[in-house]
Every structure is written in structure tokens, then in C-alpha cells.
Chains A and B, each alone.
Chain A
């Protein structure tokens, strides 16, 4: 079977798997960004309780394996009465894990805004919420973008683990084809290429574009 024939036969399945991978990535990324924002801001709080809660969250999710977390969410939570569908469990696990990494990027990005900006906004009597939203965060956001690009690529690759709880993503399809046909090189080779194209062909250009837009918006270009 030539590679062309392989693609003709299994292309549609691989395409379906890819769509699931994209969906998982988008949903997990949305969740990760939300968690990162909340936990990142909590880590800047003066309240020990708020700071502590975020720290525990970040430590747990960064300090343990994503695969174990995925299994916990899918296999263990039902024992406590919380059953999630495999698709939902998949992106929640990936999102919560990468969100913990993202929280530190948010915190770092905010702290990277020069002290003078906070002081100027304080001198203008701005409330903390407005200061954050209108002055600090827009500048922090630009500083954060390059590391977020890396994180989103990590996240895309991390979604491959959801195949292990039978979410029919790209990795799951590749494993299935391999199991049936033993065409390992073709199956996993194609998966490899598709993952690479998604990260280098979609995420990286998108982040570059966003950086360009934000740089222009911040008047630095």
C-alpha cells in the first residue's frame, strides 16, 4: 500500500480525528486562559487565603503528571459522584493542567509592567480594578504573548493524551489504524505531520499575528 493509497483509505478518519483534536485544543485553551487569569491574579493578592488557594492549585497541577490528572478526572471523580463525559473530561484535564502553567505567565507578565506605570495610575486616583484593566493588563498582555505561544503548543500536544480515555482524537485514530493494519510508520507518521502542521502552521503564525496587532496597538511599532 503506497502512502497515497493509505491517505485515500484512512484520510477521512484521520481528518475526523484532527477535527476532534482541534476542538479539544480550542476548548482546553479557553479553559486554560480563564484559569490562568484567575489564578495569576489570585497569586498577586495580598490576602494569604487567596494567594494560598492559587498556590496550592498551581503546585498540584504543575507538580503531578497530566496523564494521572486525566485519569483522576475521568475514572476517580465518578466515585465521588461527579461523572464527566470522556470528551469533557479530556479538555478539562488539559485545560486545568496548562492553566496552572499559564497562571505563572500571567503573574510574571503583570509584574513585568514597570513600577512607574502603577504609580502614575495611582497618582491619577484610579481604582485597582480600572488600573489593572486599562493600564496594567494591556501592557502585561503583550509581554505575555511569546511564552503563551509556547504554552499553547504544549497544550496541543498534551491533548494527545485524551486518546487514552478513548476520546476519538487524532492520536486515537492513529492508534486504531495501527492496531488494525500494522501500518505503524504511515499511521503515526501522518499523525506526526498533522500535529506539526497544527502547531507550526496554525498556532505559531496566529501568535505572531496577535503580537503584531498588539505591538501596533501599544504604539511600539
Chain B
């Protein structure tokens, strides 16, 4: 239980508190530094998209925030409270499992490969955690799940198992499953990368709907530049475990300042 090196507040007490703050976050796999002293704030209701070449640490950002893996240095704050750490005897110590479970309740995550539970129907996938974790009654959970499945356009598929759904449908169920926990922050980890081109639209449409109608804070890693540009409040270009450049989508896509950003964007545009 080693405290983070350096000075970190026990909780953020500024007048303005970001929904998510990465402060000096470092993640290594052996000698490989995947995130290098990352500082990043995400405001409430903001949609931040992370782009960059593979191996640049994009996905790691989301995995660290969900605490699927532990960071090596720094602190992540959620609504001003430490996420990766907890306060004990006036200092920050590594969060224990119970604390992490409580903090994770605020965050929902959708994965590239959906990770739906194959032994449950679409509806069962969506009511499982609300009942088992939040303690909702079955009636409440089903009502909530049906609303969400309706929202993603899959109410009629409620009783199908994931094996009977297309990739796009699976991802939409996965989004509904995450939303059923009523998270404050949603993470989308390359949610369209494993999809056939013709079904990508049905997933992006759902995300667009979330952006338009809900005040969710969202972090999205994607390779779809067009979608990122259209939907984001801010785009971060990652390179080598760091934010090489960030800004409003128009600015970053049209007038990138850094050479690496320009190279990346022209290479990506070449491919599409």
C-alpha cells in the first residue's frame, strides 16, 4: 500500500471540480511506459474523444479510470474524490477492492468486443447488475431495462441470447446494460472497431442520442475520425503515452499544430 509519490490533495476542493481528473498518472508494463505522467480533466457533461496510433495508450486511459488495472503513479479523481486511492489516517493509500467497487458504480464501460454475458438474454444482461449490485427489485429492474432496450431500438430482441444478435445489436445491448446502472460517466472503448461497416451507424446513432439528450460525461476511444469530429466537445490526440495535442474538433482536425498530429491525421485520411 504505497502512497503516490508527490503531493496530491485528499480530495479536490477548488471552486470548480471536474467530473474526472487524471493527475500525473503513469502506467507501465515492465519497462514499457504506456501512460506517462498524464494530466487530463473531463468536465461534467463533456464528450471527450481520444484518438491516436495503436500503442499510444488510448485504451489504457479508459481501463485505468475503470480501475480494471492499477496505475503505477499519480491519482485519478472522480467528482473530486480519489478513485484509485482512498483516504486513511489523513493520507492517500491504494484503494481496496470494496472502495473500488463503490467508485466503479459511477462509471459505465462498453468494450470493443461487447462482453455480453452469453448465458443470459438481452434483458437478463441488463437487469443482472441492477438487481445483484444495486439491489433493485426485479420489477423495477425490468422496467428500467425495457426502457433502455427501447431507447437503443432493441425492445423486440429482449428475450434473445447474444448469440442470436448481430454485432451492432450486441453493442447496443451492451450500452443499455451499462446505462442500466445509471452511471455518471460512460466509457466507450473502440465500440465500433469490431463491427461490420454497415452496422456501425446503428451504434453511433445511439451514442449520438446520448450526447443530445443526456448530460452524461463521456470518454470515447475511436478510430472513426468523422464521428469523433462531429460528436466531441474536445478531441485528445495521444502519442507515446502522452497527450500530444488537444482541442475542439474543428481546430484539431483542420488546423493541427503538432507535426505528429498532422502525420497521423493525413495517414488516417489516406486510409479512408
Contacts and interface: CB of A to CB of B under 8 A. Distances in A.
Interface of A: 114, 116-117, 119-128, 130, 134-135, 138-139, 217-220
A127 B118 CA distance: 19
B61 to A, nearest CB: 15
Interface string B74-118: 000000000000000000000001000110110111010111111
Contacts of B16: none
Nearest to A117: B115
A64 to B, nearest CB: 38
B57 interface: no
Nearest to B128: A134
Contacts of B164: 219
A127 B102 CA distance: 10
Contact of B111 (A119, A127, A130): A119
B49 interface: no
A116 B113 contact: yes
A120 B178 CA distance: 9
A119 B120 CA distance: 16
Contact of B109 (A123, A138, A218, A220): A123
Given A130-B132, A138-B119, A219 B162 contact: yes
Contact of B119 (A114, A120, A125, A218): A218
Contacts of B111: 116, 119-120
B133 interface: yes
A116 B101 CA distance: 17
A124 B113 contact: no
Contacts of B118: 139, 218-220
A123 B68 contact: yes
B161 interface: yes
Contacts of A139: 118-119
A120 B177 CA distance: 10
A125 B121 contact: no
Contacts of B266: none
A120 B132 contact: no
Nearest to A130: B132
B66 interface: yes
Contacts of B109: 123
A115 B107 CA distance: 19
A124 B181 contact: yes
B181 A119 contact: no
Contacts of A126: 129, 132-133
B251 interface: no
B68 A125 contact: no
Most chain B beta-carbon contacts within 10 A, residue among A116, A124, A125, A220: A124
A219 B104 contact: no
B54 interface: no
Nearest to B69: A119
B205 interface: no
25 contacts: A116-B111, A116-B114, A116-B115, A119-B68, A119-B115, A120-B116, A120-B117, A122-B66, A122-B68, A123-B104, A123-B107, A123-B178, A124-B128, A124-B129, A124-B133, A124-B177, A128-B97, A130-B133, A135-B117, A135-B128, A217-B119, A218-B119, A219-B119, A219-B120, A219-B121
Nearest to A123: B109
B137 interface: no
Nearest to A135: B117
A219 B121 CA distance: 8
B86 to A, nearest CB: 16
Given A116-B113, A116-B115, A219-B163, A123 B132 contact: no
Nearest to B67: A122
B10 to A, nearest CB: 23
Contacts of B68: 119, 122-123
Q: Which 8 A-B pairs have the closest CB atoms?
A: A219-B161, A120-B115, A124-B129, A116-B115, A218-B119, A123-B109, A125-B104, A125-B101
